[in-house]
Amino acid sequence: MFIGSGVALVTPFKKTGEIDYVTLKNLVDFHIEHKTDAIIVCGTTGEAPTLSCKEHLSCIEACISFADGKIPIIAGTGSNNTKTAIANSVEAQKLGADGLLLVTPYYNKTTQEGLINHYKAISNKVDLPIILYNVPSRTGLNIEPETFRQLFYECDNIIGIKEASGNISQVAHMLDLTQGDAWVYSGNDDQVVPVLSLGGVGVISVVANIMPDIMHEMVYDYLEGRTDDSKEKQLKILKLAKNLFSETNPIPIKKAMELMGMINGTLRQPLCDMSPKNTVELKSEMIKQKIL
């Protein structure tokens, strides 16, 4: 799929609320120029739950067009409605996406058997490589290592997982059960090196929206044997990563990008603007990191 740093891309909106496609193109160009290894569009950071079906597919199509084959585009097409997830995934494949990111069904909180049935139903309808997305803090549902193992071995196009549980022991168990063959991506910017040390291949990153070079280099430093350099980069971004998750993602990252002049920072409700206190702390750390 990809090795390195995939950016969990924000969806820029105009102040009137519509998707800002001009800015979206600028962001795609920015990541092509700054070492990002893949773009993940319409995920959590992209505020996918607030996009209409038409907007969702339009955003995916636009990113594929803007990328023009220069960088892989992975489409977030997950849903808590299996039929919707299938429909979105089929359309993303038709539009030319390079892969799919499928979050666990949220709110419904199905069983592990239900998870297996859900993912198999989607897998059977598309040929694209699939990355599962495990983020129990947001969905209320964890993909158990044994469940991942079954899906990995029984579905040819389920090739890996974005692991955002924060449970390093679980990551180790998943890689052990799949004999190190699964493509495991850290879903947490503060755990990239720990995941790589267990056999992971990269990160799907929020920090990469504003520091793409360092996230790419962190992964490749580790994989190419410069582990001390990789560790230094991991420690360097820890405070910034904490600031970027001081409020619900993507509130802080959009504020950071607004401060940098990359976007206007507009969010869709129910998300709201970042608090003044957290904004001051974020800005201070960005100045320390010399990105402001």
Question: Which positions are catalytic?
Answer: 133, 162
Q: How far, CA to CA in Å, does 192 sit from each of 78, 164, 283?
A: 24, 11, 23
* Beta carbons within 8 Å of 111's beta carbon, 6+ residues apart: none
Is the separation of the CB atoms in 130 and 159 below 8 Å?
yes
Alpha helices in the chain (DSSP H): 21-33, 53-67, 82-95, 112-123, 136-139, 145-154, 168-177, 192-197, 212-223, 227-236, 238-243, 251-259, 276-288
Exposure class string for 19-53: b at 16+ Cβ within 10 A, else e: bbbebbbebbeebbebbbbbbbbbbbbbbbebbee
Q: Closest Cα to residue 220, out of 184, 249, 260, 193?
A: 193
Among 129, 106, 117, 107, CA closest to 2: 129
Place of tokens 């947490």: 188
Tokens (6 digits) for 252: 């802080």
User: Which residue in this structure is represented by tokens 């069904």?
Assistant: 105
